[in-house]
Structure 1
Amino acid sequence: MPQFGKPPCEDGVILSGAPAVPCSAPSKHWTLIAAILGSSLAFIDGTVVNVALPAIQRQLDATTSDAQWVMESYALFLAALLLVGGVLGDRFGRKRVFMIGTTLFTLASIGCSLSTAVGPLIVARAVQGVGAALLVPGSLALISATYPQSERGAAIGTWSAFSGITAAIGPVIGGFLVDHYSWTWAFLVNAPVGAMLLLICAAKVPESKGGTTTGAIDVAGASLATIGLAGLVFAFIEAPSRGWNAMPVWTSIVIGVLALLLFLRVETRTRSPMLPLALFRERNFAGANMLTLLLYAALGGSLFFVPLNLIQVQGYGATEAGAALLPFIAIMFAMSRWAGGLVDRFGAKLPLVVGPLIAALGFAMFTLPSVGSSYWMAFFPAICVLGLGVSVTVAPLTTTVMNAVGKELAGTASGINNAVSRTAGLLAIALFGFILTLSFNATLDHELAALHAPAEFVAAVMAQRQKLAGIVIPHGYPAGIAAALKRAVDDSFIAGFRWIMLISAALALLSSLSAAVLIQGKPRPPRA
């Protein structure tokens, strides 16, 4: 999913880490720098690519499903292998696995920048996702392995501050590079950061391992999770162009569902599962993850299409589109400490009910903008309300997950919740793209029928309909007809965009309802 800020429970992964390995003060500082650079790579990539997608689609003559695969191939392997990445670090050395992930990520970024067609770009993005699955949990584990419990709060504060800064400036920098140079620089910018990170790790960061270096790694679970998610994602992305009756589409659904069912069976029987299902017997843990699944599906699925709307329909530059969501990040950054205090005052349940309700209002407000709407009057209020709702939710959500299980399992619980948020966005982008395409095609057919434009002109547009708002209007026709056809394409995209935002609002409402039903309220003080 496009990550605008940290996923839930990343701070919890650090707080609940294993006891730190004694090391010098300089080693601690260099380790914190390495963790910040590693997280920055993932944060920047998760936001920059989203802004660069319209340029990629235009220059590589890609369809909207191709653009989805550029994002989804990365998100698929990151979501499916995230938990395994943490286990590999504990088993073989956190620094070693972190450096392997950084190397893969950096080389894949260079491969992305050298791609001259969509196919190689998608493959390079998949390799980038594997690298990120090793890099992301490693950057958090390095902090917990180096800083003792008494010093982790300050380390987390520094790490969170820099993570917030990179999440904010990443889309703006990416947009600037796309506008003034090329989309390839959105990937190539990772190369010097990755090289610097590898040098720091090799020279300054101490090695550490988990409490045990034996035991099986859940290869079967990781493989089945990847196959299952890939099957469902393939079906929803490819169904609009191939049709639901196409053998690859329905076969992928069957394979995906069977693989996920086998995954659940394997996780109940293996000694070292990547997803301990027994944790979901705890009511608060199950409720928090249900809320995460629904709310982060709405966030990941809807925010993927916002830059496409801004750039391809509203006519914004990539830099402007990258800056458009800055208020969302700024509100989350500014309110994080205040939102954390809500749990102490009211317990976790009330914020987890109210926060998603506010977010649902924000999603609903995104249905108001039309073609040519002002940013400050249409998009800005929706972004601010959505940011407020998410800000109220994230800190209580992290607290609920951390408190739902014993201290010895808090790191596992945090990692699971983190993976759930990424999986939700992965599936939502595929599903929302399918819904937007259905609405776009139906609306465009209606608009074109009312236009009475020349048949060959309409045929040239219909041949590109898989590009959605990225359709290029042919030259050589009267300006009035071309403008009317461009407006029909834009209106068709807006129609589908509104459906996505309405569904996102419904998902946010359901996440609020799940909190009201499943999350236990603040316990009453005992009677005197």
Structure 2
Amino acid sequence: MSARARERPGQHDVAHPAWTLVMSVAASSLSFIDGSILNVALPAIRADTGAGAAEVQWVVNAYTLPLAALILLGGALGDHQGRRRWLVIGTVLFGIASLVCALAGSLQTLLAGRALQGVGAALLLPNSLALLNGAYSGEARGQAVGTWAAAGAISAAIAPLAGGWLVQQFGWPSIFYVNIPFVGVAIVIALTRVEEVSDPGSARLDLGGAALATLGLGAATYGLTLWSQTFALSTLAGGAIAAGLALLVAFGLYERRLGDKAMVPLSLFGNRCFTSLNLMTFLLYGAFGGAMLLIPFTLIEAGGYSPVEAGLALLPLSILIGGASRMMGKLAEKIGPRWPLTIGPIIVGIGLALASRLAESQSYWTHAFPAILVMSTGMALAVAPLTSTVLASVSRHQTGMASGLNSALSRLGGLIIVALLGAVLVAQGDALLRPFAMALRMMGVVAALGGVAAFFGLSGNWRHADSGTETV
């Protein structure tokens, strides 16, 4: 049997790459929408459930934790047993979890539903993109991935506005019902119009590593969440952090023992460029993810915005990032990725510092919009060349692993930053503004440090000789 196996059931004689594109957009939109729509609903969830700061943090992180920890395993399961199969399983789980969240009668049930959503996303996201990459080749593949990315940007742009309207008209549970049509479309197309693909030769079914990573990140995140509310290290918080660090050290040792069969081959980090780019990803996306939680939360809680107005306030962000990314990508092709990946995160840091000026009864156009404009410019400058540069820094046979790990680290950055925001989220009204401003300035520094990491990592000859990548 060949390393790359395909199954083509009788009903797939009408299969066409366009169906795979539609399916990939529908499936991946679940994650794009969910990540954007929830932030404008958090104040309503807090008010309705009586959630404290830690619970608000876990409404976000109960989803991000399994997504960050299991996304590489999700891709390996698809390689080994069939990408369409695991995409469908992940999409079904996401749909069931969305219903659990919508019908949740308690905060505990909501958190369980969010965790199940994270597991579903970890299964569907890597297999969605892998199926799309396999359905096209050459220039058509680039156009298809561009369409997929544009659809994600549009979904992320519309989601906060739609979410704000739904929260205002029907309450926060309604935001989870939005996922159901996308679930139905993705499953029907996958089962009737998309052929099965597997690549068992490249699969890394590292169940032990996945378990250690999940438990370690979970314990560390729990401890950081408890500590961040008062910055006093209680016995429980200290014990959880220590246990998490011990499990993560065990994860590193376990991965080193597995070598090239590991979920995360540690040999990749011997590459200076690859390591620095992933550090940049961790810092930049962590800071940006934290800001995308705090800005709408503060606009509603302290700025007097309605959920719809908060959604409208964020609308230019995704539009500007999506619209400028193509132009910034062409710029990076002409001058190389070093300066865009250095300057972009620094500009994001400046935008975050500008956003710290938000306060009650201010004009959107003089305070919020300039910050959003600057952040959008910086993100567009950095995001466009990032993936292609990461892939060009490793050998051809490592590109799938490199892409998956970079994606996981972008989620992990947000996971850690959100876990550290307890002191901000515990405040209400005007009392929220001072810790919000401090947090935004600190996240601005974190984002700028990502640019410094890229500057030093991309010095000299950074491209791998066997990358097979001509441009960045």
Could you say which TM-score interval applies, normalised by the shorter chain?
Answer: over 0.9
Instruction: From the superposition, tell whether residues 389 and 245 of structure 1 become closer, same or farther in structure 2 (CA, over 3 Å).
Output: closer
Per the alignment, do residues 245 and 293 of structure 1 end up closer, same or farther by CA in structure 2, a change over 3 Å counting? Answer: closer
* Alignment-derived partner of residue 20 in structure 2: 31
CA contact (8 A) 1:20 1:147 kept: no
Q: CA deviation at 1:212?
A: 2.1
Give me the whole-angstrom Cα distance separating, in 2, the residues matched to 1:64 and 1:379: 24
Give yes or no for the alignment of 1:324 onto 2:263.
no
The one of 211, 236, 253 aligned to 1:248: 236
SS in 2 for 1:399: helix
Three-state SS of the structure 1 residue aligned to 2:39 is: helix
Name structure 2 gaps, 5 residues minimum. 464-472
Q: 2:227 aligns with which of 236, 239, 257?
A: 239
Letter aligned with residue 248 of structure 2: L
SS at match of 1:371: coil
Unmatched tracts of structure 1, length 5 or more: 1-17, 438-465, 470-488
1:519 matched to 2:420: no
Give the conservation status (yes or no) of the 8 Å contact 1:113–1:187. yes
Q: For 1:381 and 1:27, locate their aligned partners in 2 and report how far apart those are by CA, in whole Å.
A: 44
1:495 aligned to 2:434? yes
* Partner of residue 413 from structure 1, selected from 399, 402, 422: 402
Aligned CA distance change for structure 1 residues 396 and 20 (closer, same or farther; 3 Å) = farther
Is the aligned partner of 1:376 residue 2:315?
no
Q: Distance in 2 between matches of 1:125 and 1:407?
A: 36
Kindly state the Cα deviation for residue 244 of structure 1 after the two structures are TM-superposed.
4.0
- The one-letter code of the counterpart of 1:495 is R
Q: Are residues 345 and 25 of structure 1, via their aligned partners in 2, closer, same or farther at CA, if it must alter by over 3 Å?
A: farther
* Separation in structure 1 between the aligned mates of residue 327 and residue 7 of structure 2, nearest angstrom: 33
**After superposition, what is the alpha-carbon deviation per residue over 1:395-430, rounded to whole angstroms, capped at 9, x for unaligned?**
222222011011111121111111111100110111
Distance in 2 between the 1:88 and 1:135 partners? 11
Q: Is the 8 A contact 2:157 2:316 kept in 1?
A: no
1:114 aligns with 2:116: no
Note if contact 2:6-2:195 (Cα within 8 Å) is conserved in structure 1.
Answer: no
> 1:246 & 1:105 partners in 2: Cα distance?
35
CA deviation digits over 1:372-403, x for unaligned, max 9?
Answer: 21111100000000110111111222222011
Q: Secondary structure at the match of 1:368?
A: coil
Q: Aligned to 2:88, which of 96, 99, 115?
A: 99
CA contact (8 A) 1:369 1:378 kept: yes
Q: Among all aligned residue pairs of Structure 1 and Structure 2, give the percentage whose two residues are the same amino acid.
A: 38
Which one of 165, 169, 183 corresponds to residue 176 of structure 1? 165
Tell me whether 1:155 sits opposite 2:94 in the alignment: no
What is the CA-CA distance between 1:176 and the residue it aligns to? 0.9
Aligned-CA RMSD value: 2.1
Name the residue aligned to 2:29.
Answer: 40
Q: How does 1:128-167 map to 2 (within 5 A)?
A: 128-167=117-156
Which residue of the partner structure matches residue 302 of structure 1? 291
Aligned CA distance change for structure 1 residues 497 and 225 (closer, same or farther; 3 Å)? same
Distance 1:281 1:216, change over 3 A: closer
Alpha-carbon offset, residue 435 of structure 1:
4.4
1:208 alignment partner, SS class: strand
Residue pair 2:72, 2:404 contacting (<8 A) in 1 also: yes
User: In the TM superposition, what is the alpha-carbon distance from 1:241 to its structure 2 partner?
Assistant: 5.7
Query: What whole-Å deviation, never above 9, does each CA across 1:127-158 have from its counterpart, x for those lacking one?
Result: 11101100111110111222234421221122
Alpha carbons of structure 1 residues 418 and 243: separation in structure 2 relative to 1, 3 Å = closer
Distance, in Å, in 2 between the alignment partners of 1:391 and 1:104 is 32
Say which SS state the counterpart of residue 345 (structure 1) adopts: helix
- What is the 5 A alignment of 1:389-404? 389-404=378-393
Hey, what does 1:363 align to over in structure 2?
352
Paired position in structure 2 for 1:385: 374
Secondary structure, aligned partner of 2:360: coil
> Cα distance, 1:196 vs. partner?
2.6
1:288 matched to 2:288? The reply is no
Q: Kindly tell me: are residues 242 and 517 of structure 1, through their superposed partners in 2, closer, same or farther at Cα, counting changes over 3 Å? A: closer
> Larger Rg: 1 or 2?
1
Q: Residues 79 and 133 of structure 1 are in contact (CA less than 8 Å); yes or no, is this contact kept in structure 2?
A: yes
How many Å separate the matches in 2 of 1:350 and 1:521? 13
Hey, what's the Cα distance between the residues in 1 that align with 2:102 and 2:302? 26
- 1:39 partner amino acid: S
Structure 1 residue 195, shift from structure 2 partner: 2.1
SS in 2 for 1:517: helix
1:78-99 residue CA offsets vs partner (Å, 9 max, x unmatched) = 0000111000000110010000
Q: How far apart, CA to CA, are the structure 1 residues paired with 2:277 and 2:7?
A: 32
Change (3 A) 1:32 1:207: same
Q: TM-score, normalised by structure 1?
A: 0.83
Go from structure 1 to structure 2 and tell me whether the alpha carbon gap of 1:240 and 1:408 turns closer, same or farther (over 3 Å shift).
Answer: closer
User: CA distance change for structure 1 residues 236 and 92 in 2, over 3 Å: closer, same or farther?
Assistant: same
For residues 251-288 of structure 1, what are the alpha-carbon distances to aligned partners after superposition, in whole Å with 9 as ceiling and x for unaligned? Answer: 11111000111111111111521111111111111111
Distance 1:241 1:290 in 2: 26
